[in-house]
Amino acid sequence: MLEDLRLRGLAPHTAYLYLRAVSDFARHFGQSPDQLGPKHIRTYQLHLLNKPVSYSTLTIVVSALRFFYRVTLGKGWTIERIPSPKRERRLPVVLSLTEVAQFFAAVENLKHRMVLMTMYAAGLRVSEAVHLKISDIDSARMVIRIEQGKGRKDRYVMLSPSLLTLLRTYWKAVRPHHWLFPGRESDSYLSIRSVQWICRDAWLRSGLTKKVNVHMLRHSFATHLLEAGTDLRTIQLLLGHRSLNSTARYTHIATSAIGSTPSPFDLLALQTVRPE
């Protein structure tokens, strides 16, 4: 299965999740997965629903089992009959501009503050931010090159002039050689887990009631762009979304249109004649 995943170019992390999902499935029944079939898959899915587990976990399990039985084992029974979970439609929580400033003010370490600021300023995923190299900052064209982001796609995002000024100050103080945000060893980059802990610590220090995580910075970036009048297609390109539908959900979060729309209750108040 690992060879099949590699041949089809799946990202290493995705391959790991698929392998772990099939392994957990086999361990649940105490049998090799090639001895299991549709009935076992149905029983296992019901088991996961009773735990319960997240939508993303269920989706990974379904995708992994479909891949294993269709590609690796070449089973003839209809893989598509393995049901997929219905996705919950939840709107992401975002920070206001004031809250973003309050959050950054709580980060004392320069490198830690810069990696979080870069994620917000360019709308980056945490994995994209930690993999940035110094050479990815193109100050001549005022863009940042994202190499092999999600889906193994390269893209460019804007380089904020304000961010560039801060990055230059950061570079003079830290003097990174290859990776923009090096880890403890100069030849390694800051880990995703480290940035997640940095973000959690900053949230606790900030006093914000909204629980801030690394992806919230990306959500806030997209929402603030939309509220400033940026069109959805441009935001889609900046975020690296494959489908415009993924970007369109930010229209449900942006308050520029929602907040400026009068409620019919206000119109009713204008028509109400108060008795003297």
**Catalytic site residue 40?**
no
**Number of other CB atoms surrounding residue 241 within 10 Å:** 17
In 175-275, alpha helices (H): 192-206, 214-227, 232-239, 244-248, 255-260, 264-271
Task: From the candidates 150, 200, 210, 249, give the one annotated as an active-site residue.
Answer: 150
In 35-143, alpha helices (H): 38-50, 55-67, 97-105, 110-122, 126-130
Task: From the candidates 70, 133, 145, 215, give the one annotated as an active-site residue.
Answer: 215
**Number of other CB atoms surrounding residue 200 within 10 Å:** 14
**Catalytic site residue 241?**
yes
**Catalytic site residue 215?**
yes
**Catalytic site residue 125?**
yes
Task: From the candidates 112, 113, 131, 218, give the one annotated as an active-site residue.
Answer: 218
Task: From the candidates 125, 131, 155, 219, give the one annotated as an active-site residue.
Answer: 125
**Catalytic site residue 168?**
no
**Catalytic site residue 250?**
yes
Q: Is the preceding peptide bond at 275 cis, omega within 30 degrees of 0?
A: no
Q: Which residue has the tokens 């090639």?
A: 34
* Pairing of β 153-158 and β 137-138: unpaired
Q: Which residues are tagged catalytic?
A: 125, 150, 215, 218, 241, 250
